[in-house]
Chains A and B, each alone.
Chain A
């Protein structure tokens, strides 16, 4: 199971955090900080897996991360997930974001947190991998956007909130 998905930038500013297990607000922030601390001091040419932070951790847990330009994508998973599988899932996630936002950059994540969350929700649901096929994910997200658009159009004068 995936316990948490974190995205933060090179300075440790959180850009997206999704926890599939309950932690208190403070613990969540601490986890983000600790994870950033662990991940950021790793060189580029080392493996993408990290074991056991104290907070989210224990021996059963693992951090699997990828670093893209200014952003770190970190998945915290337990032993029931395949390490390499998750690593490619991160790739799928990023490629999907890239397609949805046309050349995704950090700003897109800042301004469209809700949209990023929606994309993520089509991929991972309650900590379980729901869909790994990029086209399928985009189709679902688009379908929802379309239906909402049409819905919005007949509810009187509410201007639609710019969807791509």
Chain B
């Protein structure tokens, strides 16, 4: 390879001087670019290059700013500037000239100008506003090339706020006679859809027209849009399924012109795109899936030619077949395809085969069995990417029986990996696996070692993970490790052993060389030693203190780690020796520059002297009862009121402060000439005569929107600073609530006796196979990797695909809730295992490779106890189902959402009558008011939660009904509501502590930040007399319109307000034409549906006003123009105009 480079380099000077050569004519020796490049290639060091380029840039700068430079020279200069920028040197002075070139140049010059702009600038660059006019002009040009250039630059980058200015022009291009223009217009609109979906909502039917365009190229372009839209909302486009299928049929059938063939495959990229769309449409939808079976079969059949691109189509088909509602003969063909991929000698195909296997493994674990030997080979593949993909696959099939081997393989890879990204990813995975399976004690043999995923294995694995990961680890891994350790498992004795083992192993580690241990690990070690070293009888606190002191003295120890070590010492300093060490250490750090260290040192000093206080502050073996945290900080109330009395300014939340700041900033930017909105409307969107005026005003306000957006996101975030394990930690309570919720996640059921039998049956198998030595080793590895995948353990697989990762499943806080979960689980265990078995029946296993495992697994199945013998047939399951509490719940085949919602159906049936009787519980003062329907929120064992919102003039009241359906009273109901977008304040809670029938909770809501819909998340927890607390989560969604009230202002007031507001949006809406005057009719509809106040209507214009509770005004200006309604909204609140536009559109559509 390198000689080719050398040849190129040596050829370069001669090439440059030879004018006669065909290529060289372009690189004439006088060309300045040629000189520059020649200069650079002659250089030897980076430093010299820097010097040369800076000289070059200086000369370019001088020339571009000279008034005598012609456009042609400018073009040449731009190319040189592009070259310098591509080498990584900034040439920002040339940006403005690039825009000028695009504006003033013709033909090639313009093209270079546009190119330079698109390479130099980004869509947030302020200079881009200057390009808007040029784009507008070129879009209207009669020169097709100029239109093309404008469309290309628009799809590369365009300021979001300026889209309305050019949208009508781009829309118009959808009807252009030239298909290349139509095609580019479609893609430009797609770009708009991506950056501002609201703005293009009204042209969805035009997209449909593009889909039906007579030119296949335009149709292909429109598929980009459909792929995106269907990804977001498949339901809305089910009606198009048949069209996509028929397009694909025609393409596959070779109906397209021969030009579209690529290596004699008809339009392969189009096929790929169509199959992707189909798979999105057919997901979880049997009826839609049925429409596409035939064409998928056809595609599979046709794509048999041995070319790269046909494999691309095959791969899409396979993924699609496994995504949509299953059909057995297609699945069989797809499985065969995957086999071909995996077994292919071409590495790219092998890679995709592994990807496909990883994708389908949850539905068809047997397929992994079929290819187990190939997978084993891939584990030792020289290509790291293949190896990693294999590990990813193994990660998906991990279960209790093979976790040790798989983790071992992953650690092996980790030890070799040099790539940060891979390391972080894998470390996370290993930690997840280790935490998931540590307490299961199953022993089996592999390579004559006995492995058991037990306590020691867990600690050792975590040790390796910590020491391998370096300091790149995600902080939640040590967090959850310590959480596990402190919360422990079901048995106290096990916990003690685990902690003891950890302490012992850490002491050994600290005694050795600590230099290479990452800081994270040292912190974990410090905490564990501080907390649990007393468990060890041989270990004296003094020894531990000494070790920690050594750690403190080391230079490499970071100050954060030091504070951990100091905290640990605080817990340990007892006895005379301890106190003296503590005094010594604290004296060193009490004058530290680091405030945290200083604080810890202070604590250490005080607590070591007062052992009584220490016992109180840091109780040993304190049970982890959730600490009561006063999150409203009410204990500060006194302080605050004192401060206020002393004249301090009241507290404003950050977003409000930012808001005021940005408001103050933008006010002065308003152009002087515009006094009334009515006069401003002369430059509305549709009016192309004065685009400059338009772009100026809304461009400026657009900037201010951005500013306050940024401000909004700078609010304090607490996620990063979790200190969950410290007893001192304030977050302990919040964590435990979360944990209690997670308890509901399913846990795989196993009884030790079963496993023992499995092990027994398995351990005999390897001795029976007389195979050559290395082969045998691989087979053994295979059988340990794929152990237990076939039947029962698929439960784990299914469980894993659920939405909540079941990290902390072991210790169930609430007894009764955990038993509830168990109940549910046992049902779905039955179900999922049958579906898997059904799949197995459809696809008889390939017995040559898999016989071993199959034998063990079939044995295994037959030994399952009554509850799990589902393989016999469906009647068993039905019987079980009717016995259980969960009538009507039908876990779907995929198992994806099997456990999340217990039973939606019966509830819906109950809803109507319940709604009627619930409404009688509405408080008297709310009963006469307009309210939403009562909707159910969630259902628990004894409780039903429903809610509605009531519109009051000054507020929105959320009413939550809690209905107790059981006979026994429910106590300690606690309802917590929370929302990012809403301010929730409690109006009144039901006084009763025990609820026997219905309790009503009232909350008043105000909007913090407008959004199209605002959502509340809530948690309810309660207690029945006998039993432990239970919790459930729910959410409630309400449209922004609920918070909109009419705002009564006069036209004069409106005028002054209009000028003061900074955030605005413009858009065209459709007019309603039903007999009477269209503007009045439309405004009436909007007024009724959105609660607006009509200020005045003059001729073709109307002004309306409304406010968002409390007192956040929004002004609207409507003008009829060319049969459409041009709307301009202004408000001091960011996002409010955008959201309202959305609701206006909706209101008019629904009309």
- A residues sitting closer than 8 Å to B (CB atoms) are 9-11, 14-18, 20, 22, 25, 29, 43, 45-54, 57, 59, 69-70, 80, 82-85, 87-89, 92, 101-102, 105-108, 110-114, 117-118, 121, 125-126, 128-133, 135-136, 140, 143-144, 147-148, 151-152, 155, 158, 161-162
Contacts and interface: CB of A to CB of B under 8 A. Distances in A.
Given A48-B348, A51-B385, A125 B22 contact: no
B136 to A, nearest CB: 19
B152 interface: yes
A29 B315 contact: no
Contacts of A151: 106-107, 143
B594 to A, nearest CB: 30
Contacts of B156: 20, 125-126
Contacts of B291: none
Contacts of A125: 152, 155-156, 184, 187
Contact of B82 (A49, A113, A147): A113
A18 to B, nearest CB: 8
A151 B82 CA distance: 25
Contact of B382 (A11, A15, A46, A126): A46
A49 B79 contact: no
B644 interface: no
The 10 closest A-B pairs by CB, nearest first: A126-B155, A84-B312, A22-B122, A46-B383, A148-B107, A47-B347, A29-B88, A47-B351, A151-B107, A52-B421
A113 B86 contact: yes
B85 to A, nearest CB: 8
Contact of A22 (B123, B224, B382): B123
Contacts of A53: 421
A80 B315 contact: no
Interface stretch (B23-31, B794-802, B803-811): B23-31
Contacts of A136: 217, 259
A46 to B, nearest CB: 4
Interface stretch (B1-9, B511-519, B927-935): B1-9
A43 B382 contact: yes
Interface in B189-225: 190-191, 217, 221, 224
Nearest to A9: B5
8 contacts: A84-B308, A87-B348, A92-B262, A105-B8, A107-B23, A125-B155, A126-B152, A147-B145
A125 B123 CA distance: 15
Nearest to A20: B156
Nearest to B225: A128
Contacts of A43: 382-383
Given A51-B385, A108-B23, 16 more contacts: A10-B5, A14-B87, A14-B88, A22-B124, A25-B90, A46-B385, A69-B4, A70-B8, A87-B348, A88-B268, A89-B269, A105-B8, A107-B23, A114-B79, A117-B115, A140-B180
Contacts of A47: 347-348, 350-351, 383, 385-386
A133 B180 contact: no
B33 A128 contact: no
A46 B34 contact: no
B1 A54 contact: no
B312 A82 contact: yes
B8 to A, nearest CB: 5
Contacts of A147: 107, 143-145
Pick from B22, B123, B224, B308 the residue with the most CB of A within 10 Å. B224
Contact of A83 (B25, B72, B312, B347): B312
A103 B1084 CA distance: 68
Contacts of A161: 108
A65 to B, nearest CB: 11
A155 B106 contact: yes
B420 interface: yes
B8 A84 contact: no
Contacts of A118: 111, 115
A45 B347 CA distance: 8
Interface string B1-19: 1101100100110010000
B107 A152 contact: yes
B87 A70 contact: no
Nearest to B155: A126
A140 B22 CA distance: 23
B659 interface: no
B25 A133 contact: no
B388 interface: yes
Interface string B62-100: 000000000010000001001101111010000000000
B444 interface: no
A85 B310 CA distance: 9
Given A105-B8, A111-B27, A130 B184 contact: yes
A133 to B, nearest CB: 6
Contact of B308 (A29, A87, A113): A87
Contacts of A155: 106
Contacts of A158: 72
A58 to B, nearest CB: 9
B228 to A, nearest CB: 8
A153 B87 CA distance: 34
Given A50-B385, A148-B107, A102 B22 contact: yes
A82 B272 contact: yes
B1083 interface: no
A121 to B, nearest CB: 5
Interface string B1062-1105: 00000000000000000000000000000000000000000000
B184 A113 contact: no
Contacts of A135: 259
B316 interface: yes
Contacts of A108: 23
Contact of B1 (A10, A101, A110, A162): A10
Contact of B108 (A69, A131, A148): A148
B8 A126 contact: no
A82 B15 CA distance: 40
Contacts of B107: 147-148, 151-152
B183 interface: yes
Contact of A85 (B1, B312, B347): B312
Given A47-B347, A111-B26, A144-B145, A85 B272 contact: yes
B309 interface: yes
A83 to B, nearest CB: 6
Nearest to B422: A52
B309 A88 contact: yes
A129 B273 CA distance: 11
Given A80-B227, A135-B259, A46 B106 contact: no
Contacts of A133: 259-260, 262
Contacts of B352: 83-84
B112 interface: yes
Interface string B931-967: 0000000000000000000000000000000000000
A117 B153 CA distance: 12
Contacts of A50: 385
Interface string B379-394: 0001101101000000
B746 to A, nearest CB: 25
B7 to A, nearest CB: 9
Contacts of A10: 1-2, 5
B1115 interface: no
Interface string B113-133: 001000100111000000000
B173 to A, nearest CB: 14
Contact of A128 (B4, B90, B112, B190): B190
A52 B315 CA distance: 21
B377 interface: no
Nearest to A129: B269
